[in-house]
Structures are given as C-alpha cells and as structure tokens.
C-alpha cells in the first residue's frame, strides 16, 4: 500500500534498503532545480482506526528528524485501506525522557497527495 502510494507520486526511484538501518523505503524525486531529493520513509501498519495523532517510538522519531536524510512517516490502516502521512518537524517536540512521540497525521486524499508531492519535489 505504501509503495503504491509513493509510486503515484512519480518518483525517480523507490528502494528497499538491503539491511535494516531504520527506514523501510528510500524514495527519490527530481526537484525543480535539476537535482534530486531523497527521503527515508518509515512505514507503520495497523488494523485499528487511526486517530488524528499517532504515537511512534522515540528512536524512530529521532531518526526521522535528526538525520541528513529527510524523513517521512506513512501510516496504513490496513482494514479500511486508508493511508496517512506525517513529515515530523524538528521543532515540534523537545527532547524529553519519554520513550514515544505523538505526531499529527494527515489523511491521504487527492488534495493532500498533491500538496505532499509539491513538498517532496521542491
């Protein structure tokens, strides 16, 4: 489901890393200046209804936010066949002792998909 969604964003490439280094997928887009934008994608799947905020573990959050590779979180509701995303902002949460972070999710529809595509190729 996540790969099909990313394919619909017209990337140059989607790859599964050969070993686990914290991202489920790497996705590459051509940008408007002739270069490429590469993103690390973490994918989470659930059979439960997805709330407006989604809790991820601190290590995943830190990897998405504090890497030189920008991160994207995709959350799939596999029972309802719905997809949500988050681009975790660095300033949104301060470092704390908490082992998890709650992130606001955006449901994927035609409008939010187009907005995300603009962001990824900017």
Q: Would you list the domain boundaries of the chain?
A: 2-121
Please give the pLDDT value at position 17. 87
Contact 87, 94 (CB under 8 A): no
Closest CA to 39 of 78, 16, 70, 79: 70
- Which architecture characterizes domain 2-121 according to CATH? 3-Layer(aba) Sandwich (3.40)
Please give the pLDDT value at position 91. 52
Please give the pLDDT value at position 22. 84
Per-position pLDDT tens, the chain of length 122: 999 999 999 999 999 988 888 899 999 999 989 999 999 999 999 999 899 999 999 999 999 998 899 999 999 999 999 999 999 876 555 556 789 999 999 999 999 999 999 999 99
CA–CA distances in Å: residue 19 to residues 23, 25, 41, 78, 113: 9, 11, 14, 25, 29
Please give the pLDDT value at position 94. 55
CA–CA distances in Å: residue 26 to residues 81, 97, 115: 22, 29, 20
């Amino acid at each position: 489901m996540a790969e099909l969604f990313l394919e619909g964003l017209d990337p140059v490439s989607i790859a599964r890393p050969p070993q686990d280094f914290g991202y489920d997928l790497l996705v590459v887009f051509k940008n408007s200046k002739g270069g490429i934008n590469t993103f690390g994608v973490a994918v989470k799947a659930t059979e439960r209804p997805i709330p407006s905020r989604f809790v991820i573990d601190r290590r995943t959050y830190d990897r998405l936010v504090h890497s030189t590779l920008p991160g994207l979180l995709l959350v799939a509701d596999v029972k309802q066949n719905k997809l949500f995303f988050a681009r975790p902002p660095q300033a949104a949460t301060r470092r704390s002792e908490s082992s998890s972070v709650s992130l606001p999710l955006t449901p994927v529809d035609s409008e939010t998909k187009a907005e995300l595509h603009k962001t990824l190729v900017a």
